[in-house]
Amino acid sequence: MNLSFGRNKGFTLVELMVVVAIVGLLAAIAIPDYISFTTKAKQSEAKMNLKAIYTAEIAYFTETGNYTMVFSEIPWSPMGNVFYIYDIGGSERVGHTPVWAPDPAADAPGVHAEGFTILAYGNLDADDTVDTWQINDQIDLINRMNDAIR
């Protein structure tokens, strides 16, 4: 015989509210860190691709004696998920097509007699800041505008 003396099985409303509050607190702490982590991971795409373009430009220079402003001559193209647009200074841009356009007066990629400058643009978190990376013929990798700063 099973006798239950007025004890109902289950959780009270207060216990459930405490659990929901704890989960909400943990989410409030974890979500900004997760967004920052994914933004920095996307930035590694730009750094890796700019170094690959640099290597391709140096190889092209070794063969021809000059640098190129056309990606198809290198040959190079981004692979996988692309979050940036790559600009070598010619009429050709490769990569993710953004909803914004970089300011050509402020950013001057291109090839000149002494070397080259290649840019990567990307809006990583849908705000007004555009993440901008640059590499030149001296392999100076510079983050001109950081979209990952919180």
The tokens for 130 are 């555009």
How big is the CA angle at 43 (ends 104 and 106), to the nearest 5 degrees? 15
Identify which has the larger pLDDT, 2 or 82.
Answer: 82
Tens digits of residue pLDDT in 15-68: 999 999 999 999 999 988 888 888 888 888 899 999 999 999 999 999 998 888
Which residue type occupies 90? G
Q: In angstroms, rounded to a whole number, what is the distance separating the alpha carbons of residues 35 and 41?
A: 10
Q: How confident is the model at residue 123 (pLDDT cuts 50, 70, 90)?
A: confident
Identify which of 88, 104, 98, 91 has the alpha carbon closest to the alpha carbon of residue 137.
88
Please tell me the predicted confidence (pLDDT) of residue 104.
47
Q: What value does the mean pLDDT of the chain take?
A: 81
Q: Which residue has the higher pLDDT, 102 or 144?
A: 144
Q: Which of 90, 77, 83 is nearest to 124 (CA)?
A: 83
Cα 12 to chain center, whole Å?
A: 46
pLDDT for residue 37: 86
pLDDT > 90 fraction of the chain, expressed in percent and rounded: 26
Domain locations along the chain:
13-145
